Structure 1
Amino acid sequence: MSVKTILVWFRKDLRIHDNEILAEAVRKGETVVPVYCFDPRQFETTSFQTLKTGAIRTKFLLESVADLKRSLQKLGGDLIIRIGKPEAILPELVTKYGVTEVYHHREVASEETRISADVENALWRLKINLKHFIGHTLYHKEDLPFPINNIPDVFSSFRKKIERDSSVRTCTESPEAVIVPENMEAGELPSLADLGITESAGADDRSVMKFKGGETEALKRMHDYFWETDAVRSYKQTRNGLLGADYSSKFSAWIALGCLSPREVYWEIKKYEKERGASDSTYSLFLQLLWRDYFRFMFKKYGNKFFQKIGFKGIAPEEGANQQELFELWKDGRTGTPFIDANMRELNATGFMSNRGRQNVASFLVKDLKVNWMWGAAYFEEKLIDYCPANNWGNWAYVAGVGNDPKEYQHFNVLKQAKEFDPQGDYVRLWIPESDSIEGAVIGEQ
C-alpha cells in the first residue's frame, strides 16, 4: 500500500495554531509536504502604477514565512519555499514527492481564486485532488443563518442575525509533530531583491509600534494586549487614537497574513471577559472581527464589483479634472492640509495608519479632491502592512458611496476631525516636523 502524502499549500494562513489544513494533513497523511510559493504576480506593478506589495509589507511577509518555517522545524518538519507560480511549482512537487492530495484555504478575491482554479486544473491533469478548506473568517460559511447571496447589504442587519442565530466554532488543535518526506529539499527564504523589491529605509522611530511578522510575534502581541497591559479594557474609548501602540489592538497585520486566527482572538476575548469582565470595549473588538467577516462575505456575494469604479451602486462618484496632480500631492502628504498630510506620511514611512486616519484621508481624496477612489485603494494595497483585499476594497467602496452603505457616506470635515482627535496638534507635529513652531490646536487649522 502506498504512503499517503498530503501537500499543504500555505498562502494567507501562516500559522500552526487553529490551522485546519495543517491539522487535517497531519491526521490523515503519513507524511506532509508544507509549501509556500512567493508568486511573482504578488510583486508586480498594477494598472494604477502602484506595486501589488510594497517593501514594508514584503519584509513583514518574509518575516512571517521565516517564522512559520522555524515553527514547523520545531515540530520535526520544514517548509518548502519556492519563487514562482503555484500552478507550475505545485504539480512538480506533487510528482517529486509522490503527493496523493493537496490542501489549501479558499480565498475570496478574484486574483486569488483564479490562481486556485489554475492550480486545481494543473493538478487535475495529474489526477490529484485540490481540497478546499474555509479558514479565514470568524464564522464558518456553513454556519451562517443565510446563504451568501442573501446576506444583508447593511452591516447592522447582518450583525443582529449573526449574533442571534450563529456561533463561533472552537479552534482547531495544533499538531504535536509534523513528519515530512526524507531528504525534502526545503529551499531558502528569498531576499527583497530576489522578489524585485527595492529595500525601504530602516524602521521609523515614530512608528506606533515595531511590527514584526510571524505567528510568534502575533501571539505575543495578543497576550500583551489582553493580559499584560489590560489595554483591551479601554479599547472603545481609545480606538480612534493616533499615537502609541495600545490605542487599538494592532492585530490586523498578523490577521491579514493568517499569522493570527480571528477565532483565536475571539476565544481570547471570551476568556478575558470571563476572568476580568465583559464591557463595551471587549464587544467593540469583537465587532471589528465581525466587520472583517462581513467584507469577505460581501466579496463572495458581489465578486468583481468591488474592483469597478461604479461598485454595486451603478454610478461612479464625481471626479475632477486635475486628478493626477492632486493624487500625487495626496500620496506624498503634500496637500497643505496638515491632518491629511501627517497621516499619509505615517503610512509612507511605517506601512500603518490608524482607523480614524484611513477614514479621513479616503474621504478627503474622494470627496474633497474628487480623485478616482480606486487610485486610493490601489495605493493602500501597496503601502499598508495589514492589507487584505476584502477589507481594503470594501472599505474604499464604502467611502466612495458605491459599496455597503445604506446612506450616502458621511463627508468628513477634516478640520473638525483634527480638532477632535488631535486637539493639541501632537500627532501632526510628530509627522510634519516643519510645523513645530505652530502652537497647540491651531496647527490643525492651517
Structure 2
Amino acid sequence: MRRVGLYWFGNDLRVRDNANLQQAGAVVDQLLCVYCLDPQWLSPNQYGLARLSPQRWRFLKEALQDLDKNLQQAGQRLLVCYDAPVTAIGALVAKHGVSVVYRSRHCGFQERQQWLALQQHIPGLRFIESDTHTLFNLKDLPFAQLPPTFTQFKELVEHLPVDHPLPAADALPPCPEPKSDWLLNFPVYLPASYALDPDLPFHGGETAGNKRLKTYFHSGYASRYKDLRDELDGWENSTKFSPWLAHGNLSVRKVHADLRRYEHDHGANESTYWLYLELLWREYFQWYAHQYGKRLFAFRGITQRKPLTCFYAERFQKWCQGNTPFPLVNACMKQLNATGFMSNRGRQIAASCLVNELELDWRFGAAYFEQQLLDYDVASNWGNWQYLAGVGADPRGKRHFDLAKQSRLYDPHGKFIRSWQAEIQNLPLDSVDAADWPVDPAQTKSVLPA
C-alpha cells in the first residue's frame, strides 16, 4: 500500500539543509509539498495595519517561485493553497489519503495554534516536527526553562555543537497529482509576474540567499563586522542575511558553518565572534517566543509593568511616514518604507523614539515593523520591541536613546539624513491633542534636539 506524506512549508522555504524534507522523502512513496497563503493575511490586524507590505509580498513571491524551481530539480512541485492551513491541508489529506504531515517547528503563537488545531481536526494522522529554523534542537537545549536573560542563555549554549548543514536531496518522491495541474499561479493580491529588478538589493529565495552568503564571506567584511555593524547605511556594513533567514531561504546552520569555515581560513577575531553572538541573539528570541507564547504580543509583555502611554493617532502616522521633529528618525523610517530594510542601529533609534519621545504603545511600532520589514521574524521583531520598551527580558528596563547623541555618533555630517531627504525645520510634534482638539502653534514647544 502506497504511503502518502505531506510537507507543509512555512519558515523553511528551501531544499538545502532541510532535514525534515529529507526525512519525508526517505519514508513515503508519494509526497505533497504545500504552502498556504492564508486569506486572513489580507485583513488589517488589530492595529489597523496590513500584515504584509507590497515589498514583503514581492519577496515572499520570489521565495516561493525559487522554491518551486528547486523542488522541480528533485522531481517535485510546490502547491500553493489559497486557504487557511487547517482547511487546505485537511482537504488534501482527505483527497490523497495522507498518513503523515511534516513541518519545521515554528515559534509563532498563531502558527503553533494552527498546528494543534490540525491535529485535533484529523486525530488519526501522524504529525512530525523538527528544528530547522534554529541553531540547536529542542532536545539538546541544556535547560527546561529559558534563562531570564540573554547573558545567562549565552553562557549555557555558546559552546554547544551545531549540526552540520545537509545538501539538497537529489530526488524526492513524486507528487500524487499530475504536475500539469500544479501551475504556480498567484491570486490577484500578489503582484503579477515580472523580471527581477537588478536595482533592488533583496530578492527572495534560496538561490539569492546563498549567493549573498557566499559573496559576504568572500568579501572579507566579516573580519570588520564589529566596527561596521552600527552604520546606518551601506550594503557591506552588515551581513544582510536576515531577510533570507526569516523566510528560511537560508539555514542558520549553514550561516554558522560558513562562519566557522571563514574563521578557519582567515582567522577568528572579535568581529567574527560578534557575528556568532548575533546568531545567538536570534536563537534566544526564537526560544523566547516558544517560552512565552501569546505574551509576546501583550501590552505588559512578560512583566507586570504597565507602560505609560497615550495614543495619538497623528504622532503614530508621522512616525510611520518619517515626518516627526527628529531628522534621524525620519531618515530611518523613510529608508524602511522605501526598501523594506533598516539597520539594527536604526531600528533601535526609531523604536526608542516611538516609546519615549512620542510616548506611544510599543505594539503599534512592532506591528508597523511587521508590515514593512522584509526580514520580519515574529520572535526577533516582537522580542526586540519588548526588550526596548522595558516589558521584556532586559534587566535594565526601558531603553531610551538620546537622539541628538545618536545623530552625532552615527550621522555626524548629516549625510544619511540628507540622502533620505529627512531634514525638517521646527516641526511641532502635534497639531491636535489626544482628543483631536487643535493645538495652538504659538504654544507648541519645539522638541527638536539641541
Deviation at 1:98, TM superposition (A): 2.9
Answer whether contact 1:55 1:198 (CA < 8 A) is retained: no
Q: Partner of 2:305 in structure 1? A: 315
Deviation at 1:429, TM superposition (A): 0.6
Give the 5 Å matches for 1:52-131.
Answer: 52-124=51-123, 127-131=124-128
Answer whether contact 1:204 1:349 (CA < 8 A) is retained: no
Task: Describe the superposition over 1:219-244 as per-residue Cα deviations: whole angstroms up to 9, x where unpaired.
Answer: 000000001x2221211110111222
Deviation at 1:40, TM superposition (A): 1.3
Deviation at 1:406, TM superposition (A): 1.0
Return 266-275 or 86-95, whichever deviates more.
86-95
Q: Partner of 1:25 in structure 2? A: 24
Q: Partner of 1:175 in structure 2? A: 169
Q: Partner of 1:327 in structure 2? A: 316
What letter is aligned with 1:163? Answer: E
Give the 5 Å matches for 1:184-333.
Answer: 184=179, 185-191=181-187, 193-194=188-189, 210-227=201-218, 229-320=219-310, 323-333=312-322
What letter is aligned with 2:211? Answer: K
Q: Partner of 1:441 in structure 2? A: none
What letter is aligned with 2:295? Answer: K
Using the size of structure 2 for normalisation, the TM-score is: 0.90
What letter is aligned with 1:295? Answer: F
Answer whether contact 1:123 1:129 (CA < 8 A) is retained: no
d(CA) in 1 for partners of 2:34, 2:315: 43
How many residues get paired? 424
d(CA) in 2 for partners of 1:74, 1:8: 17
Deviation at 1:445, TM superposition (A): 5.8
Answer whether contact 1:4 1:100 (CA < 8 A) is retained: yes
Deviation at 1:203, TM superposition (A): 7.5
Match of 1:153 among 145, 148, 170: 148
d(CA) in 2 for partners of 1:384, 1:204: 20
Q: Partner of 2:431 in structure 1? A: none
Q: Partner of 2:49 in structure 1? A: 50
Deviation at 1:163, TM superposition (A): 2.1
Gaps of 5+ in 2: 426-447
d(CA) in 1 for partners of 2:185, 2:221: 35
Answer whether contact 2:327 2:423 (CA < 8 A) is retained: no
Task: Describe the superposition over 1:69-106 as per-residue Cα deviations: whole angstroms up to 9, x where unpaired.
Answer: 00011122111122111111112222333322111112
Q: Partner of 1:162 in structure 2? A: 157
**Percentage of identical aligned residues:** 37
Answer whether contact 1:359 1:399 (CA < 8 A) is retained: yes
d(CA) in 1 for partners of 2:45, 2:283: 26
Answer whether contact 1:56 1:383 (CA < 8 A) is retained: yes
Answer whether contact 2:60 2:204 (CA < 8 A) is retained: yes
Using the size of structure 1 for normalisation, the TM-score is: 0.91
Return 409-418 or 211-220, whichever deviates more.
409-418
Return 217-226 or 104-113, whichever deviates more.
104-113
d(CA) in 2 for partners of 1:350, 1:299: 27
Return 250-259 or 100-109, whichever deviates more.
100-109
Q: Partner of 2:344 in structure 1? A: 355
Cα pair distance change 1:314/1:260, threshold 3 Å: same
What letter is aligned with 1:253? Answer: P
Deviation at 1:262, TM superposition (A): 0.4
What letter is aligned with 2:318? Answer: L
Task: Describe the superposition over 1:171-215 as per-residue Cα deviations: whole angstroms up to 9, x where unpaired.
Answer: 234211123135143232315x335x899xx9796xxx6100000
Answer whether contact 2:403 2:449 (CA < 8 A) is retained: no
Answer whether contact 1:232 1:282 (CA < 8 A) is retained: yes
What letter is aligned with 1:403? Answer: G
Task: Describe the superposition over 1:365-417 as per-residue Cα deviations: whole angstroms up to 9, x where unpaired.
Answer: 10111001111011111111100111011000011000011112331001111
Q: Partner of 1:439 in structure 2? A: none
d(CA) in 2 for partners of 1:361, 1:198: 33
d(CA) in 2 for partners of 1:133, 1:356: 33
Give the 5 Å matches for 1:1-40.
Answer: 2-40=1-39
SS state of the match for residue 130, structure 1? strand
Cα pair distance change 1:359/1:393, threshold 3 Å: same
d(CA) in 2 for partners of 1:417, 1:397: 21
d(CA) in 1 for partners of 2:383, 2:185: 32
Task: Describe the superposition over 1:123-154 as per-residue Cα deviations: whole angstroms up to 9, x where unpaired.
Answer: 32xx222222222111111111111x2x2111
Cα pair distance change 1:370/1:203, threshold 3 Å: farther
Answer whether contact 2:65 2:184 (CA < 8 A) is retained: no
Task: Describe the superposition over 1:327-362 as per-residue Cα deviations: whole angstroms up to 9, x where unpaired.
Answer: 111111110210000001111111111000000010
d(CA) in 2 for partners of 1:356, 1:82: 38
